[in-house]
Structure 1
Amino acid sequence: MARPIWSGILSFGLVSVPVSLYAATENHTVAFRQIQRGTSDRIRNKRVNERTGEEVAFGDIVKGFELAEGEYVVVEPDELDRISPGRSKTIEITGFVDLDQVEPIYFDTTYYLGPKGKEYAKVYTLLQRALEQANRAGIAMFSMRGKEYLTAVRSENGILTAHTMHFADEVRDPRSEIHTLPAADSDTAAVSDRELAMAEQLIDMLAVDWNPDDYHDTFEEKVHELIAAKQAGQEVTAPEAAPSPSNVLDLMDILGRSLENAKTGSGSAAKPDEAAAAAEAGAKSAAAKAKSRTARAGSKAAAAGRASAGHRPKDTGAKKSTSTRARPATSATGKKTSTAGSRRKEDLSELTKAELYKKATAADLPHRSTMTRDQLQHALETTGHGRHLRSAS
């Protein structure tokens, strides 16, 4: 069982709950020790005086802030200790922000928060469920190990998590840091509608549901294989060559072959003529759909404009139908699925999130692991237990 790295009080308003902080991730990087080549002698690092070359005791080392070359302001360890924020005894939430407004770049390290005892389960669950329903995170300043952190407390997968965050001045502006970024109106970055349609089609064909278990550290595995091979006296093979950059002059051909490979599920290059034909057909289809959507949007906007100006459609005298027949929906596999009009919907309002998640898994709802309880219920009710697309937050 994991040991907490911090314990204290989590508070919001007049509500407080004793909690413990746990590391949410662990590092599996293979550890090496430095030894001298040809021997088993370990190498030790020593603190030495740069001018004299003599070793310096740890107690004789102080910190210095360089003002100019060779000129320092000396700061003693106890002077830093006096102004250090120390260790917080409380994570005091001062406000709640909408998670959709927080860009991922601001999140740094994730920790788990657990109640310090079973007697605090109700207060803990109250905050967890309230944050989940509101899709918000509590913001607090938190000190640990001599450093102050901006911290976000949020609900994830039925528990509370704490994320240390970067301050605004720690996030670099990419436009000032990367001088090779293309400008929006640059001729070199101009993309045709056909190229964009083909790229979007390729993305759609390669779309998958997020499952973290599908991915693993291949470099770590290769390191272990290398160690095992050298231990057994086997020859070590050379690594595969990195792929060469795509030639922008052949971008259409590359997109066409990529689409063909995605269709066949193979990694080999397809015939250029066949790939180009398939890609062109897909691009035309995507462009036609986009044009149709634009036309429909224009018609709706025009109708809305006429309605707002006081124009009403003429009454033809025909009786309006008072009943509608629900048409069976068609799934991605081509099979017809029952809809709300063909059978009575199951009442999902009394089910727990775990029960809704089980139904979402059976219905193969994509992105279900990122949904709140209400979003799961809405997805199941809206689609009749079918598919529901949602962008991951």
Structure 2
Amino acid sequence: MARPVWSGTLTFGLVSLPVQMYTATENHTVRFHQVQRGTSDRVRNKRVNERTGEEVPLDEVVKAFDDGDQYVVVEQDELDDIAPGRSKSLEITGFVDLEDVEPVFFDKTYYLGPKGEQYTKVYALLEKALAEAGRAGIATFVMRNHQYLVAVKAEAGLLTLHTLHWADEIRDPRSEIDNLPGRTEVTDRELKMARQLVDTLGMEWKPEEFHDTYQEQVNALIEAKRSGRKKGKAEPPAESTNVVELMDALRASVDRAKKPARSTARGKSAKRGSGTSETGKAALDGLTKAELYRRAADAGVPGRSAMTRDELVKALTRQENAA
């Protein structure tokens, strides 16, 4: 069982609920070490005085703030004196509609569990109330000498805690990006065709079908180099759409998105009638990865989002042969 990263008392009104908090996500990024080329010698970072070039012992390293004119040294015990300490309270100050909290505010997710069986009824009561109301409890709490703004939500029968960014941490996109479209005009025909493309490419949200394919390719590259094999390169990125050809690109995209369903139906019909498929492997080899993916989506191929182009061809070929 996982160990809680924080425990304390969640309160709303005069109701108290002892809870424990657990990390909800994990990072599966491939970790690399630094080594000197041509050797197996690890390269490590050292704390070095940039003026003298000499290594500095850890106990001589202190925190300092650069105010522009000088460094203001701040000792750890001075930070401890003003820090609120390890808080044991998670007090909900109010409840807000979930749709009012913009996605940009959400940071990290944790699971909340009752601290003991005797608290399960209060836990279930809050979870059901939040689920029916479609609201989230907003609170602040302290963990590891850091204060967090959080939202407590009901999700799939349990309580979750989402750390939120403070309002002054959210950057204004208008001041960060100097080429936003603003009042750029689009024609009714362009908008209608774009909406049609969005509707045609509609899909159900199934997160289990999406995988970190880049990390899979990194692992495949490592294995290929370990065994002395060569690893192929990824497909080049798509070229930018010319504004003059925008309508043509939209129309062609809609036609391409619709085509796989019709082609698949014809292929199955041909296979039943003659024992051979009109859309065999040779035909699939001539399609782009986007076309193969749309065909896989229409055919309900599981795990298609994580597949390479060759894997899509093989999966579609297997499914067609089995039809």
Shorter-chain TM range is 0.7 to 0.9
SS of 1:56 mapped into structure 2: coil
1:198 aligns with 2:197: no
Residue number in structure 2 paired with 1:242: 237
SS of 2:195 mapped into structure 1: helix
1:86 aligns with 2:85: yes
The number of equivalent residue pairs is: 264
Residue number in structure 1 paired with 2:211: 216
Residue number in structure 1 paired with 2:20: 20
Q: Note the C-alpha offset of 1:88.
A: 1.2
Write the distance in 1 (CA, Å) between the matches of 2:129 and 2:139.
Answer: 17
Q: Note the C-alpha offset of 1:116.
A: 1.0
In structure 2, give the amino acid aligned to 1:156.
Answer: E
Residues 155-194 of structure 1 aligned to structure 2 (within 5 Å): 155-184=154-183, 189-194=184-189
Residue number in structure 2 paired with 1:282: none
Assess, with a 3 A threshold, how the Cα gap between structure 1 residues 62 and 268 changes in structure 2: closer, same or farther: closer
Unaligned runs of 5+ in 2: 264-286, 290-323
Write the distance in 2 (CA, Å) between the matches of 1:268 and 1:68.
Answer: 55
User: Alpha-carbon deviations, 1:263-318, whole Å to 9, x = none?
Assistant: 0138659xxxxxxxxxxxxxxxxxxxxxxxxxxxxxxxxxxxxxxxxxxxxxxxxx
Residue number in structure 2 paired with 1:391: none
Which of structures 1 and 2 has the larger relative contact order (alpha carbons within 8 angstroms, sep 6+)? 2
Write the distance in 1 (CA, Å) between the matches of 2:99 and 2:13.
Answer: 23
Write the distance in 1 (CA, Å) between the matches of 2:226 and 2:61.
Answer: 42
Residue number in structure 1 paired with 2:282: none
Residue number in structure 2 paired with 1:148: 147
Write the distance in 1 (CA, Å) between the matches of 2:169 and 2:133.
Answer: 28
Residues 260-299 of structure 1 aligned to structure 2 (within 5 Å): 260-265=255-260, 268=288
Write the distance in 2 (CA, Å) between the matches of 1:243 and 1:86.
Answer: 52
In structure 1, give the amino acid aligned to 2:182.
Answer: A
Write the distance in 1 (CA, Å) between the matches of 2:109 and 2:288.
Answer: 40
SS of 2:34 mapped into structure 1: coil
User: Alpha-carbon deviations, 1:154-206, whole Å to 9, x = none?
Assistant: 1011100001101111111111111100121xxxx321111110110111111
Q: Note the C-alpha offset of 1:87.
A: 1.5
Write the distance in 2 (CA, Å) between the matches of 1:177 and 1:75.
Answer: 32
Write the distance in 1 (CA, Å) between the matches of 2:166 and 2:110.
Answer: 18
Q: Note the C-alpha offset of 1:59.
A: 0.9
**Based on CA coordinates, which of the two structures has the bigger radius of gyration?**
1
Q: Note the C-alpha offset of 1:82.
A: 1.2
Residue number in structure 2 paired with 1:11: 11
In structure 2, give the amino acid aligned to 1:202.
Answer: L
Q: Note the C-alpha offset of 1:66.
A: 1.1
Write the distance in 1 (CA, Å) between the matches of 2:12 and 2:195.
Answer: 45
Q: Note the C-alpha offset of 1:35.
A: 1.0
Match of 2:251 among 244, 253, 256: 256
Q: Is the CA contact (8 Å cut-off) linking 1:12 and 1:94 kept in structure 2? A: yes
Residue number in structure 2 paired with 1:129: 128
Unaligned runs of 5+ in 1: 270-393
Write the distance in 2 (CA, Å) between the matches of 1:243 and 1:84.
Answer: 51
> More displaced, 243-252 or 230-239?
230-239
SS of 1:94 mapped into structure 2: strand
For the aligned residues, what is the CA RMSD? 1.4
Instruction: State the identity as a percent.
Output: 60
Q: Note the C-alpha offset of 1:100.
A: 1.4
In structure 2, give the amino acid aligned to 1:56.
Answer: V
Write the distance in 2 (CA, Å) between the matches of 1:45 and 1:217.
Answer: 30
Q: Note the C-alpha offset of 1:129.
A: 0.5
Q: Is the CA contact (8 Å cut-off) linking 1:261 and 1:268 kept in structure 2? A: no
Write the distance in 2 (CA, Å) between the matches of 1:85 and 1:169.
Answer: 21
Q: Note the C-alpha offset of 1:243.
A: 1.0
Q: Note the C-alpha offset of 1:86.
A: 2.1
SS of 1:230 mapped into structure 2: helix
Write the distance in 2 (CA, Å) between the matches of 1:53 and 1:164.
Answer: 41
TM-score normalised over the length of structure 2 = 0.79
Q: Note the C-alpha offset of 1:98.
A: 1.1
Which consecutive segments of 4 or more residues in structure 1 shift more than 3 A? 266-269
Assess, with a 3 A threshold, how the Cα gap between structure 1 residues 133 and 28 changes in structure 2: closer, same or farther: same
Q: Note the C-alpha offset of 1:85.
A: 2.5
User: Alpha-carbon deviations, 1:352-381, whole Å to 9, x = none?
Assistant: xxxxxxxxxxxxxxxxxxxxxxxxxxxxxx
Write the distance in 2 (CA, Å) between the matches of 1:42 and 1:268.
Answer: 43
Q: Is the CA contact (8 Å cut-off) linking 1:150 and 1:167 kept in structure 2? A: yes
SS of 1:264 mapped into structure 2: helix
> More displaced, 85-94 or 258-267?
258-267
Residue number in structure 2 paired with 1:231: 226
Write the distance in 1 (CA, Å) between the matches of 2:27 and 2:231.
Answer: 26
